[in-house]
Amino acid sequence: MPYLFTSESVSEGHPDKVSDQISDALIDNFMAFDPSSKVACETLVTTGLVVLAGEVKTQTYLDVQSIAREVIRKIGYTKSEYMFEANSCGIISAIHDQSADINQGVDRKTADDFESKANAQGAGDQGMMFGYATRETDNYMPLALDLAHTILQEMSYIRNNEPNLIPYLRPDAKSQVTIEYSDDNVPQRIDTIVVSTQHDDFAADEEMLAKIKADVINIVIPRVQAKLKADLQALFNDQITYHINPTGKFVIGGPHGDTGLTGRKIIVDTYGGKGAHGGGAFSGKDPSKVDRSAAYATRHVAKNLVAAGLCDEVLVQVSYAIGVAKPCGLFIDTYGTAKVDMTDGEIAQKVAEIFDMRPYAIEQRLKLRNPIYSETAAYGHMGRKNEVVTKTFKGPDGTTVTKEVELFTWEKLDYVDAVKAKFGL
């Protein structure tokens, strides 16, 4: 019997995402000036206030207030009527030194060779991390989440680049997409689309709410549809149920409407509820924290396995003990879609021979000690475009650092040949 599956996304102006972006901007600045920095920083945002807290071990000094204000400004909170504005909000920092008890299991003095470092650098915490991939879309992401992201990205593009097209948009927004699947897990049609967008104040409530609904359906959705390949475009139909700002007016939003916290959108950040999640957030953490680095590594594994033709869908789990380099275990679930005559356990054994999942090896393979994290902090950490960009950072003393960095390295299909060779595909 057909079934429905739903995923949601939130915009860069959502209060939790504002927090994520501030935390990751701090990570990027620490990485730019001291790539060996160990950082775990959390951000809270509310009406007129930003609170920064966390633990840092670094050789650099940052003007955290200026960094936070620049992030808020870039997102679009630049008007006093938002009750949260880049130039006027208060910023409190409670960032302090990292615990030596934690650091002793992560940093150990070793010989200057890969194997010594890889065996010496233990995981920054215990836990399990999951990666997922599916043939559903060209970027190997679940379709419902991919569409939910794309709707909000299109609205953000319009707000920032074509403000006269939909002039009333404000930064905060949420979306949700429900897809009907067949018994054999193939998308059949889009059943429901939900969009709630913050907007400027207006007098004629019913008239304006009708305009918002019409603009989303007649401007945003066709632009999203046009970005898709033909078979996915066909999933759009005139029977879709739309809920556009279903509660009515949405003027009060962003950190004034809801307090935001770093790490509170972990399902939006990953696979929209498909597969599994180990529970650890990403933003605000340097790559020695396996919550982040190993989640990227398992996505890298999963995507390369599916792209190599080993299976149509896969879930990859890795787990660690704090201070220990070797993973506790590697788990594979191909959901019965494997194209080789092996159990998932046998597949996992071979995968472990291809991908070195020790924390230091992950950092090196995916180039994680670079300032690459701000771009991850809105619209998902997975399924994004792998590209090389140049970024410039300015220190509080006027010093600037310019770096060419590779973004979203975990999205590369650079292990497809190795997977094919190992499994005889």
* Residue 367 labelled as part of a binding site: no
Confidence of residue 214 (pLDDT cuts 50, 70, 90): very high
What whole-number distance in Å separates Cα of residue 2 and Cα of residue 342? 29
pLDDT at 203: 79
pLDDT at 104 over 90: no
371 strand-pairing partners: none
Q: What is the mean pLDDT of residues 88-117?
A: 74
**396-412 pLDDT tens trace:** 988 999 999 999 999 99
* Residue 326 labelled as part of a binding site: no
Confidence of residue 110 (pLDDT cuts 50, 70, 90): low
* Residue 394 labelled as part of a binding site: no
Is residue 345 within 8 A of residue 388, CB to CB? The reply is no
* Residue 98 labelled as part of a binding site: yes
Q: Are strands 313-320 and 127-134 parallel, antiparallel or unpaired?
A: antiparallel
* Residue 42 labelled as part of a binding site: yes
How many CA atoms within 13 Å lie on the side-chain side of 75? 36
* Residue 397 labelled as part of a binding site: no
What whole-number distance in Å separates Cα of residue 25 and Cα of residue 139? 26
Confidence of residue 118 (pLDDT cuts 50, 70, 90): confident
* Residue 264 labelled as part of a binding site: yes
**159-181 pLDDT tens trace:** 999 999 999 999 999 999 999 99
* Residue 381 labelled as part of a binding site: no
pLDDT at 19: 98
Is 0.75 surpassed by the pTM of this model? Answer: yes
Domains in the chain (CATH in brackets) are 3-10+142-252 (3.30.300.10), 127-135+287-423 (3.30.300.10)
SS3 assignment, position 15 = helix
pLDDT at 117 over 90: no
The residue whose two tokens read 């403000």 is 163
* Residue 173 labelled as part of a binding site: yes
**357-395 pLDDT tens trace:** 999 999 999 999 999 999 999 999 999 999 999 999 999
